[in-house]
Structure 1
Amino acid sequence: MPDLSSSASASKLEESYDRVTPAIALNANGGGRGLFRDFVDSFKKKQDDDVVGYDEETGTSSKMKKTIKSRHLLMISLGTGIGTGLLVGNGTALAKAGPGGLIIGYGVASAMLYCIIQAAGELGICYSGMTGNYTAYSSLLVDPALGFSVSWVYCIQWMTVFPLQLVTAAITIKYWTDTNPDIFVAILYFLIVFINLFGAKGYAEAEFLFNTCKVLMMVGFVILGIIINCGGAGNDGYIGARYWHTPGAFSTGFKGVCYVFCYAAFAYGGIEVMVLTASEQENPRKSIPSACKKVIYRILLIYMLTTLIVCFLVPYDAPELTSTGSASRASPFVIAIASHGISVVPHIINAVILVAVVSVGNSSLYSAPRLLLSLSEQGYAPKVFNYVDRQGRPLLCFLVAMFVGLLAFIAASDAEEDVFSWLLAISGLSQLFIWISICLSHVRFRDAMKAQGRSLGEVGYKSQTGYWGSWFAIIVSLFVLVAQFWVAIAPIGNGGKLSAKDFFQSYLAAPVLIFIYFGYKIYYKDWRLCIPATEVDLNSHRKIFDEDELKQEDLDWKEKMRTASIWVKIYHFWC
């Protein structure tokens, strides 16, 4: 069984993903030959003497320059994941469930997600330097087999998201032109690869720009949507709740609500990436709680409010919602504006949809290699993937992700829609498994702390939804899995007849997870359901805070806020 509480020598690469400044820009000699030599040398393996620090408290060493700042994390927490699921997938979800079903489905998913993010924030600060971050929590705190299976499924998910987003981008561009889509796939493929050659800083700066565009578009859409609904723009006058009466609030009843859950999981996917970046943040204890607090704004304003606006502007029986061809024509955001006689804004929204798709592709190429690297460092993947070059890039893992991304060049074939559906099948349900594992890890962490007589005062940040919030998220997630299984075996349409293709496109990730989980159990002959709470290792990899120091910091902060201006108090209350 892989040793998850290894010494510093076994985890010396765990924070070494990116030194971020490309060697090609660091040539001191200025000569062309020197530039080329430095560029070639940058791909050589990073040596042990490159380690810049060792944390005796957590038992981790680092070669990495921490380059992700609070402003980056703000936009990552607000905008990462705003892509295909929300901007395009909601169209199909609206057609299947109706506006009432869509809002209920997203409301349940939103409540669950807030609890998940709070649990991830608490564990993210405790284990900010741990190899694999939240993909490794369950191995240490719950069961190695669960950690192994969830980590692999999650890695596969992010591997497939990269070509999925490129295919989506090619479909989106069809809104403007029918030129061979592989041309645009190639352009975007090399753009995303180029960005990620700059490591964490390149990723963070690109996401800051991409997510700013996405958030501004969402704000603009809400304002324009309200104006259109009230009759201030467009050619339909006052709309109000017209489409909630005709054709109605629900398309297929409760089954439609169940159908929304998987789309909501896919739409919210990636929101936990801010925890994956913990080892590359300058001050996780400061930035992660702030980001967790801001997630509520993303849930309420970017997801719930925009979805509500769409539900007031687009009837669920609009033929464009289920159209084939350009995905952006099926985007409810484009339909909401274009169907009411406004001709210019849909092109702007379509451009932002393209930016959003590229952004999620960028996140996938950032996340997938690091997840594969963490699997290798935990002993869950071949050691050859431990290779980290002198610029801190997980080079071989990066090459694997690039190779998987070549699947996107299927965009020019007649099988484009099928490839999209299968890639989406792998990506959608996998998200639920990682969320369940995060909450299970949080529950077992709290159980172990109690069983071993440890104080929660050692924890740098405590989940605002607490122990029972994680249980709530677990129960809802399991309900979503059951609901999705029901929809998979009795799909909406076609008379509810079961189709093997439709079933596996809805539930493909589940058999993959089960196969990997029991494969681990059989190979290692470890049949424990979970690690007993009294045996959970609460020392390895964890940063243990001094309770007295934390109390003093809290007292100092309260005193500072007591004398602060009203505007400072308002800012820190909300942010």
Structure 2
Amino acid sequence: MSAYNFSSSQERKLSTVFEHLNETNSSLHTSRNLDIDFKSVNELNEGDKVKYEGIKNGDTQVTSGITNSFESESLRDDSKPLENEEKTENQLNRSIKSRHLLMISLGTGIGTGLLVGNGQVLAKSGPAGLVIGYGVASIMVYFIVQAAGELGICYSGLTGNYIRYPSILVDPALGFAISIIYTLQWLTVMPLQLVTAAMTIGYWTNINPNIFVAIVLVIVVLTNCFGAKGYVEAEFLCNIFKVLMMVGFVLLAILINTGAIGTDGYIGTIYWKNPGAFANGFKGVCSVFCYAAFSYGGIEVLALTAAEQENPIKAIPSACKKTVYRILFLYMLTTILIGFLVPYDSPQLMGSTSGGGSHSSPFVIAIASHGVKVVPHLINAVILISIVSVANSAFYSSTRLLLSLSEQGKIPKIFNYVDKEGRPWYCILFASLFGSIGFVASSPYKEEVFTWLLAISGLSQIFLWMSICLSHIRFRRAMIKQGKSLDEIGYKAPTGCWGSWIALSIALFSLISQFWVAIAPIGKDGKLDVLVFFQNYLAAPIVLIAYLGYKTYYKDWRLYIPSDKIDLSYGREIYVPEEQVIVESPPSSIAMNSVIITKSKE
């Protein structure tokens, strides 16, 4: 048995606690004694107190809180909350189960970008350009999810964790800029989904679309009024429908393409030859990246929900590993099939140069244009469910991000209020007001509004992913520089740092490519159009202004925090696989540390 050198008072405290644990363990499991080796533990102070929470599932599990604020050495039962106990940062309810996280990782984000926006991208890039653009983006996304999973485990106790990574691990100014743009992204995604819902319903009826906008908005707000439990249960059901629809579409599309059903016989790659595989050449391919980023947006939500997961140490790694199936099947395969069944010059596509676009989903066009009846209506119905699902996810994410910004002191403290059920009411109210932008759906300029909202969402997603990669690289560098063992990481990204470097490089290339498309837009004969530039690159100046504004206000002109100065104890959980020991160090604003020690069954 190895141990740290503790003072005599510390040894007495630990001895008392472990004697109590051995007695409890003996009463629950005959003749079993605890044998705990300390691999890592924060220094205990004279007034520290260790509290025991319980033993469950046949494993001896101890959760200990070390704080200077208790009056006595007696053990406190934490199964019941203290009356009038003030809510702190970590008191969002942990109500997200593994089954929820699996469906979140598979289906969340499958909505406007993939199901509707891809029609606009196909018209600009052609089928080959669409596949190449999504293929490159898919490589980037896979590496990003692994990095987000590793950091999500390490900082699972931080609300809105991945917008806080840059502030802790890279630079506070970068963290502030990313926090602002990413929160703005999710706030704008909500009305974007409402506008898209109105477009989708337009496939059936010409009734005033604002009626449906109001209905969807009320549904989403009421769902989130039930807290995290309401959000995840709604997402679970919606994502089941989405995944089943995607599976059904793949099977049906293959049958149509091979001539087994439909009115056009064997199709094969005919649309890759006429009108062609590419539209607008290499620039068309470059135009895909921003749309692909928007389509993949939300894939990192599995890390954002860490603070409300029952068992993030098991759920997040499992979800990260399954992400590859979502990328290959739900995105790449469906993108290829869309290119086989819909020509890029189809007048029905949004953004078509032929005019008369119906704003219909390319998934619906792919089935309906080949003589298949009824099914397009079913697909359109599931697409509508998917859009509502993404609106729900956007609403949830934006409220948690607002809560995180408030906890960091970056927006008014009123947004920091969380009730006993874990609901941030003022954040919910603000997000609801922002969602009212969706009532522009009845305007004749709804497609322009769609483009503006998409401009903020797509590019800001790339900025977030870059910050996750930078944070992961700096985290690993700080661990090495400060002599920390990588065994302290609960989930080590299988792609390591090199995966983050590759993803970061692709993200930078995407930004440069999008800048080229913005200053020499497609369809403008390569001439600069200020309006089109900001429609394509609006997020970049927002990030730059926020970054420089922070630097100027705080007069902190360092480019980044040196590796040996990064505070690796801030909010981080330390996990040692050999003995399953977790040491959690909450933010310094809370005078508390936690030690979680788990001894597995033999």
Alignment match of 2:291 (pick from 241, 263, 268): 263
Alignment match of 1:227 (pick from 255, 259, 270): 255
The 1-side partners of 2:85 and 2:103 are apart by 31
Q: Is residue 50–residue 63 contact of structure 1 (8 Å, CA) maintained in 2? A: no
The one-letter code of the counterpart of 1:374 is S
Q: Is residue 133–residue 275 contact of structure 1 (8 Å, CA) maintained in 2? A: yes
The 2-side partners of 1:327 and 1:184 are apart by 21
Query: Do residues 217 (structure 1) and 257 (structure 2) align?
Result: no
SS at match of 1:548: coil
Shift of the 186–322 alpha-carbon distance from structure 1 to 2, 3 Å rule, reads closer
The 1-side partners of 2:532 and 2:122 are apart by 19
Aligned-pair CA distance for 1:50: 3.8
1:535 counterpart residue number? 565
TM norm structure 2: 0.81
Alignment match of 1:447 (pick from 477, 481, 490): 477
SS at match of 1:544: strand
Shift of the 327–160 alpha-carbon distance from structure 1 to 2, 3 Å rule, reads farther
How does 1:295-310 map onto structure 2 within 5 Å? 295-310=323-338
Q: Is residue 174–residue 326 contact of structure 1 (8 Å, CA) maintained in 2? A: no
The 1-side partners of 2:358 and 2:427 are apart by 32
Alignment match of 1:511 (pick from 528, 536, 541): 541
SS at match of 1:321: coil
2:175 counterpart residue number? 147
Aligned-pair CA distance for 1:437: 0.4
1:457 counterpart residue number? 487
Q: Is residue 122–residue 461 contact of structure 1 (8 Å, CA) maintained in 2? A: yes
SS at match of 2:267: coil
1:351 counterpart residue number? 381
Shift of the 326–113 alpha-carbon distance from structure 1 to 2, 3 Å rule, reads farther
Q: Is residue 328–residue 353 contact of structure 1 (8 Å, CA) maintained in 2? A: no
2:406 counterpart residue number? 376
Alpha-carbon RMSD: 2.1
Alignment match of 2:308 (pick from 268, 271, 280): 280
The 2-side partners of 1:539 and 1:214 are apart by 40
Q: Is residue 148–residue 520 contact of structure 1 (8 Å, CA) maintained in 2? A: yes
Aligned-pair CA distance for 1:61: 6.4
Structure 1 residues without counterparts, runs of 5 or longer: 1-45, 53-59, 561-575
Q: Is residue 172–residue 328 contact of structure 1 (8 Å, CA) maintained in 2? A: no
1:80 counterpart residue number? 108
Query: Do residues 251 (structure 1) and 279 (structure 2) align?
Result: yes
1:516-561 CA distance string (max 9 Å, x none): 000000000000000000000111200011243259xxxx99x99x
How does 1:318-337 map onto structure 2 within 5 Å? 318-322=346-350, 329-337=359-367
SS at match of 1:545: strand
Alignment match of 2:99 (pick from 71, 87, 91): 71
Aligned-pair CA distance for 1:245: 1.5
The 2-side partners of 1:190 and 1:157 are apart by 21
Shift of the 329–90 alpha-carbon distance from structure 1 to 2, 3 Å rule, reads same
Alignment match of 1:413 (pick from 440, 443, 448): 443
Q: Is residue 89–residue 158 contact of structure 2 (8 Å, CA) maintained in 1? A: no
Shift of the 184–259 alpha-carbon distance from structure 1 to 2, 3 Å rule, reads same
Aligned-pair CA distance for 1:93: 1.0
Greater helix percent: which structure?
A: 1
2:19 counterpart residue number? none
SS at match of 2:164: helix
1:15 counterpart residue number? none
1:271-291 CA distance string (max 9 Å, x none): 111110001101101000000
Q: Is residue 88–residue 328 contact of structure 1 (8 Å, CA) maintained in 2? A: no
**More deviation in 391-400 or 60-69?**
60-69
**More deviation in 482-491 or 408-417?**
408-417
Aligned-pair CA distance for 1:435: 0.4
Aligned-pair CA distance for 1:47: 9.2
Aligned-pair CA distance for 1:464: 1.0
Q: Is residue 189–residue 391 contact of structure 2 (8 Å, CA) maintained in 1? A: yes
Alignment match of 1:98 (pick from 112, 120, 126): 126
Aligned-pair CA distance for 1:335: 1.0
The one-letter code of the counterpart of 1:321 is L
The 1-side partners of 2:493 and 2:481 are apart by 19
Aligned length: 504
Aligned-pair CA distance for 1:329: 4.5
Percent pairwise identity: 65
Alignment match of 2:391 (pick from 338, 355, 361): 361
2:264 counterpart residue number? 236
Query: Do residues 498 (structure 1) and 528 (structure 2) align?
Result: yes
Shift of the 522–495 alpha-carbon distance from structure 1 to 2, 3 Å rule, reads same
Shift of the 327–522 alpha-carbon distance from structure 1 to 2, 3 Å rule, reads farther
Aligned-pair CA distance for 1:152: 0.8
Alignment match of 1:479 (pick from 505, 509, 512): 509
Q: Could you say which structure has the larger radius of gyration?
A: 2
Q: Is residue 182–residue 464 contact of structure 2 (8 Å, CA) maintained in 1? A: yes
The 1-side partners of 2:89 and 2:115 are apart by 41
Aligned-pair CA distance for 1:102: 0.7
Structure 2 residues without counterparts, runs of 5 or longer: 1-80, 582-598
TM norm structure 1: 0.85
